Amino acid sequence: MSHALVELREKLTAMRLYVLVTGDVAKRLPLEAAKLVIAGGADVVQLREKTMADGEFLVLARQFRELTAKTGTLFIVNDRAEMARLADADGVHLGQDDLPVAEARKILGRGTLIGVSTHAIDQARRAVADGADYIGVGPVYPTKTKGYEQGVGLQYVRQVASELDVPFVAIGAITLERLPEVMAAGAKAVAVSSAIIAARDPKAMARAFKQKL
């Protein structure tokens, strides 16, 4: 295993706050939102722009890479493995309906992280067996961001924490008020979108989350 990959996996293990950045949710430019949440203590930022044209997305992804390289923040691209490769991102995050892990690995090689969203324990087991470096666990609570009217609940977080030896982030309408019970269920890291980037002061909100994690 390369030194670079070892370093990436160490950062994964140490991560506590993972922030998904989408311009429409943030109500500000994605790069500006990223700067604010990183200043507030985000360990990982994911660029999530589902409808942005490839050319525009690549320019933005390279700006994210330049920013995160300076701060030592992990940079993940949502869904678009080829864009992740071209932008030299640290990894890609895949949904259940996106590329299989094996196909993404062909594009990205062994030195890049691959994360997978999971909503049930069988999906989590399969993602780990397929070689995912980390998994998303949720949505813990109902969330409009992901289009889930009902969350999978804290029991699923407990299952993953007790059964699987893989870094994971709990995700899905997690707020500061809900954070203690998510952590009590076994989550060491949380992925947050609107609660941070749509806040009046994303930097302060990110810092508030980080202080509780």
37, burial (CB in 10 Å: exposed 0-12, middle 13-18, buried 19+): buried
Q: How far is residue 38's CA from residue 68's CA, in Å, rounded to a whole number?
A: 8
Q: How far is residue 57's CA from residue 50's CA, in Å, rounded to a whole number?
A: 9
Catalytic-role residue among 16, 80, 146, 203: 146
Active site residue 146: yes
Phi, psi of 113, deg, nearest 5: -80, 145
Q: Would you say the C-alpha torsion 123, 126, 131, 134 has a positive or negative sign?
A: positive
Active site residue 2: no
Catalytic-role residue among 48, 65, 203, 207: 48
Measured from the Cβ of residue 4, the count of other Cβ atoms closer than 10 Å reads: 11
Considering only the C-alpha atoms of the chain, give the largest distance between any 2 of them, rounded to a whole number of Å.
43
Catalytic-role residue among 65, 80, 105, 117: 117
Report the catalytic residues: 48, 117, 146
